[in-house]
Chain A
Amino acid sequence: MSDIEKDYFEEITYRDALRLAMHDEMNENKNVIIMGEDVAKYGGAYGATKGLLDIFGENRVIDTPISEPSIIGASVGAAMTGLKPIAELMYVDFFGMSLDQIANQAAKIRYMFGGQTSVPMVLRAQGGTGRSGGAQHSQSLESWIMHIPGLYLVMPSKPCDAYHLLRKSIQLDDPVVFLEHKMLYNSKGSLDKKNIDAEFGKASIRLEGNDITIISYSRMVNIAEEAAIELKKSNINAEVIDLRSLNPLDKENIIKSVKKNKRALVVSEGHYTSSVASEITSIIFEHCFGDLLKPVIRYTAEDTPVPVAPNLEKESIPSMENIVNFSKKLME
């Protein structure tokens, strides 16, 4: 790994940015450990921990049995007693296996015990469609996490944010759920380790525009950016907001942008009903009611399980073309 010496990358993959973030934190803090299914020898199902075993050894990069509740539960106990665990859950779909340890234990321990102790751990997982994983390997379950007080929720779209926000997540004294998207690992961008723009609760305006605000996070930001470029051809200037973290949520920048543009489209790969998109839409209605020229639209995955067949899978989530179409309609 020659790249561990470098501070600046003109181009780096999202996967490598994550690996470097974990590497750099482990280098600086001997109490940071990684545990999860196939994180050591295999290097993680999506390769994010590749090579870390060779550098840090098996006491710090730990392959576990396939016991999701106890991977998270043991991380909670380790976090309460001096370690800084990064637990990897291979798929967000496995939240279904382990929600007690996430929502009833990790999230609530500080509060229930009156602030006596913290649970400084990071739970990394990945979700989303794109690989025909089907209903149990393709979900976007961030709304489950966002619903629970006590959990930070981070979903960066760009390699530089992935690097800096993962490092900040590891440094934080609270449990952080850090969600990646399986189709982002090979995506590329620049990374400047010294220039830290990312922080929790601060959205990034990816593209500025004065006509319509498109709010998104994770992989859908990239689709929204493509749509915005396409919309320019029709003289529509879309502002694309990348939320980066969902808890804390940058309400201020959402409200500011929508008040300016008076039209808003929320794009998410989660479901339509009772979702992150519903939450953001609701915030916009509450705070921009008098400013809106059109109803706020939430464009999300269908309210169905994710189908395997590639044509169905693709059709079940937001597309660039439809973001363009819906935006044009809102501009009429």
Chain B
Amino acid sequence: MNTFLEDFYKTMKRIRTFEERVSELFIKGETAGSMLHLSIGEELGPTCISKAMNDNDTFTTHHRGHGIFLARGGDPNKMMAEIAGKKDGYCKGKGGSMHIADMSVGHLGANAIVGGGIPTVVGAGMSYKYFSKPSISVAFFGDGALQQGILYESMNMAALWDLPVVFCCINNQYGMGTKIDKAVAVKDFTGRAKSFGLNACSVNTLDVEEAYYKIKPIIDDARSGKPGFIEIECYRFYGHARMDKSPYRDIDEEKLYRERDPIKFAKKKLIDKNILSKDNIDKLDNEISNEMDEAISFAINASLNDTNEIFKDVYSNKNPESIKTRIKKIIGN
């Protein structure tokens, strides 16, 4: 059987290294603020789902979306520059980590409102159906959004109208500091989705290949108008945001779950199956490390916006007048 494992490993390792560099950029004091939500430990889901998607597919993400964007073709330099609030970032530094987007790879936007980007993919699915395009649109969100009503409105519409849409929950067990056990009485999330008429599967594995083969039929079915739901169980290795030291969970739990690492698992499998030697993996890791170092340099050296940028992009055809200008018109210079 053809193996994508080398590819998968590379994607997961790039995500993790990128996130580690975001942390470094923060420590250097070069990020725009500290609202940085890292996806270390959650690399498996974005990697296998992205592989099952096609070039013309689109997606939205939650606030913890760097990994998904990278897996879908995001440029680390422009991502890092955006996180640093620079002009050369994807959104001219006006969106930042939580509101990053790139129409050229089908990234319809990260969202800082839990569940906020979910109905966007319903609308995208309506477009693809209307224009008979073979694309699908995937909403990525965390387990926090499983308790937002808009998810179920959207699932209902997708099923009702046979839309090419997938709802993908990266269940990292915590909605900020609240464990999933404290947020729901019943954890049968695939059951919820099925009751709306969606295909559904839940994946709880460290083996990214196994996950891929499990989720692939859901993605393929969505393309022919049968919407789906995917739950990827994983563990958020670190705090909610960069400043969070996770006082609400105990060290032993963190230690245990950090050992359950999909990247370590993939590395071992690559070696055991003689797909890559340890040396080759080290070489690959090194290349990735250099790539992400370059992203940091790019972000640090990128230029700041002219402050006039504040007023641009609010509307298509006009810019709001500065308040200072308005005041001068009243009281003079």
Residues of A with Cβ closer than 8 Å to B?
Answer: 33, 59, 64-65, 67, 69-70, 72-83, 85, 100-101, 104-105, 108-118, 149-150, 152, 172-174, 248, 286-287
Beyond A78-B126, A174-B317, 17 additional contacts (C-beta under 8 Å) are: A69-B149, A73-B116, A77-B108, A77-B137, A80-B123, A80-B124, A82-B131, A83-B130, A111-B314, A112-B99, A112-B101, A113-B90, A113-B95, A113-B101, A117-B101, A149-B314, A149-B320
Partner of A116, one of B91, B120, B317, B320: B91
In the complex, what's the smallest C-beta–C-beta distance from A53 to chain B, in angstroms? 16
- Chain A positions within 8 Å of B103 at CB level: 113, 116-117
Residue ID in chain A nearest B161 by CB atoms: A62
In whole angstroms, how far apart are the Cα atoms of A48 and B89 in the complex? 44
In the complex, what's the smallest C-beta–C-beta distance from A303 to chain B, in angstroms? 27
Q: How many residues of B contact A (CB 8 A)?
A: 50
Asked whether A78 and B127 contact (CB < 8 A) given A110-B316, A116-B101, A287-B330, the answer is yes
Is B190 an interface residue when CB atoms closer than 8 A count as contact? no
Partner of A113, one of B109, B127, B318: B109
Asked whether A83 and B126 contact (CB < 8 A) given A117-B103, A174-B315, the answer is yes
Residue ID in chain B nearest A59 by CB atoms: B130
Residue ID in chain A nearest B156 by CB atoms: A65
- Chain A positions within 8 Å of B89 at CB level: 114
Residues of B with Cβ closer than 8 Å to A?
Answer: 58, 89-95, 99-103, 108-109, 111, 113, 116-128, 130-131, 137, 149-150, 153-154, 156-157, 160, 312-318, 320, 329-330
Partner of B154, one of A70, A149, A174: A70
In whole angstroms, how far apart are the Cα atoms of A79 and B330 in the complex? 39
In whole angstroms, how far apart are the Cα atoms of A65 and B123 in the complex? 14
The answer to whether B113 and A77 have CB atoms under 8 Å apart is no
Interface centre among B101, B127, B317, B320 (most CB of A within 10 A): B127
In the complex, what's the smallest C-beta–C-beta distance from A224 to chain B, in angstroms? 27
The answer to whether B314 and A73 have CB atoms under 8 Å apart is no
Partner of B116, one of A75, A100, A116, A152: A100
- Chain B positions within 8 Å of A33 at CB level: 126, 130
The answer to whether B116 and A74 have CB atoms under 8 Å apart is no
A-B contact pairs, 10 of them (CB 8 A): A64-B157, A67-B157, A74-B122, A77-B122, A82-B131, A101-B119, A112-B91, A112-B101, A173-B316, A286-B330
Interface centre among A74, A82, A101, A172 (most CB of B within 10 A): A74
Interface centre among B93, B100, B102, B157 (most CB of A within 10 A): B157
- Chain A positions within 8 Å of B108 at CB level: 77, 80-81, 117
In the complex, what's the smallest C-beta–C-beta distance from B108 to chain A, in angstroms? 6
The answer to whether B318 and A248 have CB atoms under 8 Å apart is yes
The answer to whether B119 and A69 have CB atoms under 8 Å apart is yes
Interface centre among B102, B109, B128, B154 (most CB of A within 10 A): B109
In whole angstroms, how far apart are the Cα atoms of A59 and B129 in the complex? 10
In whole angstroms, how far apart are the Cα atoms of A152 and B117 in the complex? 22
Residue ID in chain B nearest A33 by CB atoms: B130
In the complex, what's the smallest C-beta–C-beta distance from A149 to chain B, in angstroms? 5
In whole angstroms, how far apart are the Cα atoms of A105 and B114 in the complex? 12
The answer to whether A74 and B101 have CB atoms under 8 Å apart is no
Partner of B123, one of A59, A73, A117: A73
- Chain A positions within 8 Å of B91 at CB level: 112-114, 116
In the complex, what's the smallest C-beta–C-beta distance from B304 to chain A, in angstroms? 14
In the complex, what's the smallest C-beta–C-beta distance from B157 to chain A, in angstroms? 6
Residue ID in chain B nearest A105 by CB atoms: B116
The answer to whether A73 and B118 have CB atoms under 8 Å apart is yes
- Chain A positions within 8 Å of B120 at CB level: 73-74, 76-77, 80, 105
In the complex, what's the smallest C-beta–C-beta distance from A208 to chain B, in angstroms? 26
In whole angstroms, how far apart are the Cα atoms of A294 and B100 in the complex? 51
The answer to whether B313 and A115 have CB atoms under 8 Å apart is yes
Residue ID in chain B nearest A152 by CB atoms: B315
The answer to whether A114 and B123 have CB atoms under 8 Å apart is no
The answer to whether B127 and A81 have CB atoms under 8 Å apart is yes
- Chain A positions within 8 Å of B156 at CB level: 65, 67
Partner of A74, one of B58, B94, B109, B123: B123
Interface centre among A70, A114, A117, A248 (most CB of B within 10 A): A114
- Chain B positions within 8 Å of A118 at CB level: 316
The answer to whether B124 and A77 have CB atoms under 8 Å apart is yes
- Chain A positions within 8 Å of B130 at CB level: 33, 59, 83
